[in-house]
Copies of this chain bind each other. A is one copy, B any other.
Amino acid sequence: MASEQHNAQRRTPVTIHDVARDAGVSVGTVSKALNDRGQLRPDTRARVRATAAILGFLPNELAQSLHRKRSFTVGIITSDRFGRFSIPLLEGIEDALDPARIAVFLCKPTDDLELERRHVDSLLAKRVDGIIVTSRRTDPRRPLDLGGASLPVVYAYAQSEDPAAACLLPDDEGGGALAGAHFARLGRRRIAHITGPERFAAVRERRVGLARALADAGLVLDDQLVLSGSWSEEWGREAAERLLDIGRPFDAIFCGSDQIARGVADTLRDRGVHVPEDLAIVGYDNWEIVAAATRPPLTTIDPCLDELGRLAATRLLGMIDANDGQRAAATRVPCRLVVRASCGGGAE
């Protein structure tokens, strides 16, 4: 559409009355023609549409929203200040909402329940059709306080304490299992695990998955080789030093994040340990900017957050269309193994 055809001056927008006058029809006919409703002669419909296009008529969605009791907007509430996890999620969410012509209100990220409550009030006042809640961790959180309002809510990379809430979570146990199975397939036998704080559900679940996959391959996860700490490179470096000094043999390390893996790889390099020849490493997150820059580049587990975002938005659309409080238990979205160089070998 050439920009000359647009005429949507802010203070004097083209109205439905202008279209009706120029097309020589009534306002009701314009409405029918543009909304594909009612009985109209095809040439009338075509004339109205052409006129609207020439005038650059933009339907006033605010007015339409009042009429339809739908605003075609969705609110996103997040506690992820850094955007590490919320950015790919957001991309997936918008991938799903964009074709449905639904716009996204993004609220200022916050951990503070009082501010979150104000965000909800603001979204309700905007008459959003639904809300997606995201987080920077997957542990159960207090249900979003809608103050008695009834509105579809989906938790994405977040979990509500309400067991009936619709939650989409990465399959962390499955992610741990992917790492264990990859090591086993490549002939690694003694797997160490350097991970984040035990209080994170994701830490416990990934470890369970790792142990399960190793058991499936006839291997045992040695508790002495499991070190929990923080989500940082520094912890990766410190834990790698400790592992090397314990004196127990191991030939692979599964790391709870790419940042931890980066620290581990740097320390192994400093200590003259060769990756992947002496030790294989698998990271977690597939955070490109870290995983690809590590020496060697990291084989890692991708939690597929963009896919998780798409699924969350799709579920929300379903709940909005069903026009009720339809709920579902938590759904786990599968992870994916991304093979780079830190384990040698190739994809399966």
- A residues with a Cβ closer than 8 A to B are 1, 3-11, 56, 58-63, 65-66, 69, 71, 73, 76, 81-83, 87, 90-91, 94-95, 98, 101, 103-109, 117, 121-127, 145-151, 232-234, 259, 262-263, 266, 269-270, 289, 293, 295
- Chain B, residue nearest A82 (CB): B87
Interchain Cβ contacts under 8 Å between A and B, 27 examples? A1-B117, A3-B148, A5-B147, A10-B149, A58-B121, A59-B125, A61-B127, A62-B65, A62-B126, A62-B127, A63-B66, A66-B66, A73-B105, A90-B106, A91-B108, A98-B108, A103-B105, A103-B107, A103-B122, A103-B126, A104-B105, A104-B106, A105-B105, A105-B106, A232-B293, A259-B289, A269-B270
Assuming the contacts A148-B4, A259-B293, asked whether A58 and B108 have C-beta atoms less than 8 A apart, the reply is: no
Say yes or no: B87 contacts A83, CB within 8 Å: yes
A43 CB, min distance to chain B CBs, angstroms:
26
**Bound: A69/B149 CA distance, A:** 27
A211 CB, min distance to chain B CBs, angstroms:
29
Say yes or no: A10 contacts B151, CB within 8 Å: yes
Say yes or no: A87 contacts B87, CB within 8 Å: yes
The 9 closest A-B pairs by CB, nearest first: A6-B147, A94-B108, A83-B87, A6-B148, A106-B106, A8-B149, A233-B293, A61-B125, A10-B150
**Bound: A9/B145 CA distance, A:** 13
* Complex partner residue of A91 from B81, B124, B269, CB under 8 angstroms: B81
- Chain B, residue nearest A121 (CB): B58
Q: From A9, A65, A108, name the one whose CB has the most chain B CB atoms within 10 angstroms.
A: A108
The interface residues of chain B lying within 8 Å CB-to-CB of A9 are: 148-150
**Bound: A117/B1 CA distance, A:** 9
* Complex partner residue of A109 from B4, B73, B91, B124, CB under 8 angstroms: B91
**Bound: A98/B116 CA distance, A:** 12
The interface residues of chain B lying within 8 Å CB-to-CB of A126 are: 61-62, 73, 103
A143 CB, min distance to chain B CBs, angstroms:
11
The interface residues of chain B lying within 8 Å CB-to-CB of A149 are: 6, 8-10
- Chain B, residue nearest A6 (CB): B147
